[in-house]
Amino acid sequence: MAPARPVLRPGDWVHFDGGEHQVVGLAGATVRLRSTAGAEQVVLAGHLMAAPDFSVVNAGPAPTVEPFGLLDALPTDALGDAKQWEQHVVEVETGLRPGAAAARTGYDPARTTVNERDAVKAAELGVSIRTVQGRRARYAAQGLWGLVDLRAARAYQGTGRADARLVEVLREVITEQTDASTGTRSRLIHRAAKRVEELHGVGVVPLPGRTAFYALVERLTAGRHTFGSAVTRRQTANRPTGAFTPTFAARPGEQVQIDSTPIDVMVLLDDGLPVRADMTIAVDVATRTVCAAVLRPVGTKAVDAALLLAKMLVPEPMRPGWANALRLSASRLPHARLLDVDARMREAAARPVIVPDTVVIDHGRVFVSETFDRACNRLGISVQPARKDTPTDKGIVEATHKSIKTLFAQHVAGYTGGNPTLRGRDVAAAWTLGELQDLLDEWLIVGWQHRPHDALRDPHQPRRMLTPNEKYAALVAAAGYLPLTLASDDYLELLPVEWRQLNDYGIRVDNRTYDCAALGPWRRQHSGVIARRGLWEVPYDPYDVSQVFVRTPDGWITVPWTHLPMVSAPFADFTWRHARRLTAERGRDAGNESEVARVLDELLTRAEHGPDRASAKAVARTRAVGSAPGRPAPDQRPMPVVDERPDAEVIPFGVFDADAEAERWI
């Protein structure tokens, strides 16, 4: 039988505080002790028993609780053998088998001693007396686990009867396969056997048979993809060993994660060359809002990251053909409050403007650049680089990339899949880079910002998932968040720059000519920039090629494309009629969530079937003459003849004034 747990009584001797003490009295939760030198002290029982060196003298080892989980995991035959031995041990200890009414001959405790019963049990089982005594001792200390065959326990741990030295070598060889090309099991076994012979000598370490060796390798490589995809194997090995902790942000913009990855869609460049596109996105941790997304040909440049910041900090404009359900005023966002701060919100789409406090980036060449660092410093944004080869430091943006590929990219004509083994036959590019950018911008509004996100839960109703827009509205009210959007000068500073000569015919950028009357005083003049040989600074927006900007001593000049009149000539009777027709066809209840679902379904269907060239032509013309609300309007632009209705109200590019806002609220 297992020994009873020790009990503290007056007169017992205990080890405490570096010496032996006798218990002379117990009173409630206090214990009076007397040392061997005769000194007495009163201590709390909890303090006494929690002391590292506390123990009762001559009390024997305290029994331990059986590991029930390990017992349940043992093979049935190993557990059955242990329970059979338990009955034998109990019979030796007590003289009775469990459940028996009377003792058998030779086991009556009234007529035999424990030693005599040990001898009888040994003869009955055909083992030595020391074996029976050893089993009784282990049962007294460990319970049923002490009677388990340790070879079965080792088999449970995955190594079976294999020599520990062989197991150690196998683990080393398996670890070496992380960065190596994928091989077969036979190659790994061969390398392990040679390594064992080199370390311990030939024939010193016993090797299992072929079947047992393969089974051992299978158990040791479980979950490590040693013989599968090399990419998956490296990703699995790169996982942090610590606990996975969620990235938390309490307000919009507290942390924004930025990253680039191929979008797995073939696109057409201006020269008709099909290439894959890179997608750079910025994701707000608190709301899961995709603040901005930029598509470029594979090999994204550093200027794209700075341009991404510029797109984040201005409202997303509504575009011709977009459904009313995508308007900011039709969403859950605080439209009235934002409109009071910035009039551009009147024609904005339902994507919040989020000004980041901190951006988390990787060590790619897109972000580790002076262009991006200077842009963040200019805007007061803290840049936090992730640890090298640790994608979990920006796991939210990594997961968002996968979601965009699953929810959007695979529905687009020209989808290639993540690797060549997933690619279909004769996959051809259907969309141009600009057309795919338009599709992505529209999908982010309708398919992402209005889609419930599993990570955005209502704390009072955990079963309810919020959309990014709903989460933004809730956090704005709770955190008092108010975005300060970019002014026009700040927006221009973030655009990529070309250095050009101001000629008689104007400016040439990418085989396009830009000119206006305001350039007159500066033609053929030296800019004063010696380092650039007198060339002039010309920022341009790669997503709006209808105009460029020139920095002069008198300020910025907006220079339109010289062919803009030719494009805008049919603007009145074609582009706007086409846009109005599309808008009228989709003119349903904008506040109905089912309308958003219908728009999303139409968008994905359109993306799957490729471009409608009539609509694409209209969109291209609209893109050429229209500018986003956050971008400066050109100073000189031919006025298209549309109809007799008055022109729309021109919304100036204002800057939020904190002092004026405070006085207005007071």
DSSP letter for each residue of 408-427: TGGGSTTB--SSGGG--TT-
Length of the chain, in residues: 666
CA distance 222 to 226: 8
Of 69 and 126, more confident = 126
User: Would you say residue 259 has pLDDT above 80?
Assistant: yes
What are the CA-CA distances from residue 526 to residues 75, 534, 550 (Å)? 88, 5, 13
Instruction: Please name the fold of domain 256-489.
Output: Nucleotidyltransferase; domain 5 (3.30.420)
pLDDT computed for residue 651 by the predictor: 46
pLDDT band at 427 (very low <50, low <70, confident <90, very high): confident
**Spatial contact of 535 and 500, defined as CB atoms under 8 Å apart:** yes
- What is the average per-residue pLDDT within 136-163? 75
**Does the CA dihedral 270-271-272-273 come out positive or negative?**
negative
Lowest-pLDDT range of 129-133, 223-227, 514-518, 541-545 = 541-545
**Does the CA dihedral 129-134-140-144 come out positive or negative?**
negative
Q: What is the helix (H) or strand (E) element at residue 513, kind and residue range?
A: strand 512-514
For residue 103, give the DSSP letter.
P
For residue 444, give the DSSP letter.
I
User: Which 3 state secondary structure label does DSSP give 647?
Assistant: coil
For 400, phi and psi rounded to 5 degrees? -65, -40
Of 349 and 289, more confident = 289
**Spatial contact of 30 and 45, defined as CB atoms under 8 Å apart:** yes
Question: Within a 13 Å sphere around the CA of 255, how many CA atoms are in the beta-carbon half?
Answer: 18
Distance of alpha carbon 151 from the chain centroid: 42
pLDDT computed for residue 301 by the predictor: 61
- What is the average per-residue pLDDT within 455-470? 85
pLDDT computed for residue 641 by the predictor: 38
Task: Find tokens 């989709």 and name the residue.
Answer: 586
Of 56 and 188, more confident = 188
pLDDT band at 576 (very low <50, low <70, confident <90, very high): very low
- What is the average per-residue pLDDT within 322-334? 75
Lowest-pLDDT range of 129-138, 311-320, 515-524, 640-649 = 640-649
CA distance 145 to 196: 33
CA distance 100 to 92: 13
CA distance 415 to 29: 74
Residue 378, amino acid: R
Distance of alpha carbon 573 from the chain centroid: 48
Distance of alpha carbon 583 from the chain centroid: 37
**CB neighbours (10 Å) of residue 189?**
19
pLDDT band at 483 (very low <50, low <70, confident <90, very high): low
pLDDT computed for residue 309 by the predictor: 79
CA distance 176 to 39: 63
For residue 148, give the DSSP letter.
S
Q: Would you tell me the crossing angle of helices 433-443 and 593-609 to the nearest 10 degrees?
A: 160
Question: Within a 13 Å sphere around the CA of 156, how many CA atoms are in the beta-carbon half?
Answer: 17
In 3-state terms the chain splits into helix, strand, coil percentages (rounded to 5) of 40, 15, 40
For 18, phi and psi rounded to 5 degrees? 80, 10
User: Would you say residue 228 has pLDDT above 50?
Assistant: yes
**Does the CA dihedral 240-242-243-246 come out positive or negative?**
negative
E strands present in 533-663: 536-541, 544-552, 555-560
pLDDT computed for residue 630 by the predictor: 46
CA distance 625 to 465: 40
CA distance 542 to 341: 28
- What is the average per-residue pLDDT within 564-568? 53
pLDDT computed for residue 74 by the predictor: 76
154 closest CA partner among 65, 89, 73: 73
User: Which 3 state secondary structure label does DSSP give 95?
Assistant: coil
Task: Find tokens 């009629």 and name the residue.
Answer: 577
Structure tokens that stand for 248 in this block: 């938390």
Residue 136, amino acid: R
pLDDT band at 486 (very low <50, low <70, confident <90, very high): low
CA distance 481 to 618: 38
Supply the mean pLDDT for the chain. Answer: 78
pLDDT computed for residue 85 by the predictor: 92
- What is the average per-residue pLDDT within 339-354? 73
Give the model confidence (pLDDT) of 521-565 as tens digits. 899 899 988 888 899 999 887 666 778 899 998 888 999 888 766
Query: What is the SS3 string spanning 54-73?
Result: CEECCCCCCCCCCCHHHHHH
User: Would you say residue 627 has pLDDT above 50?
Assistant: no
pLDDT computed for residue 197 by the predictor: 92
pLDDT band at 255 (very low <50, low <70, confident <90, very high): very high
Structure tokens that stand for 660 in this block: 């004026």
Of 651 and 415, more confident = 415
pLDDT computed for residue 639 by the predictor: 36
pTM score above 0.75: no
Structure tokens that stand for 245 in this block: 């902790």
**Spatial contact of 623 and 561, defined as CB atoms under 8 Å apart:** no
User: Would you say residue 95 has pLDDT above 90?
Assistant: no
User: Would you say residue 215 has pLDDT above 50?
Assistant: yes
Lowest-pLDDT range of 45-59, 361-375, 486-500, 574-588 = 574-588
Q: List 359's β-bridge partners, or say none.
A: 256, 383
pLDDT band at 60 (very low <50, low <70, confident <90, very high): low
**Spatial contact of 317 and 349, defined as CB atoms under 8 Å apart:** yes
Structure tokens that stand for 320 in this block: 């011709």
Phi-psi region of 480 (alpha: psi -120 to 50; beta: other; left: phi over 0): left
For residue 290, give the DSSP letter.
E
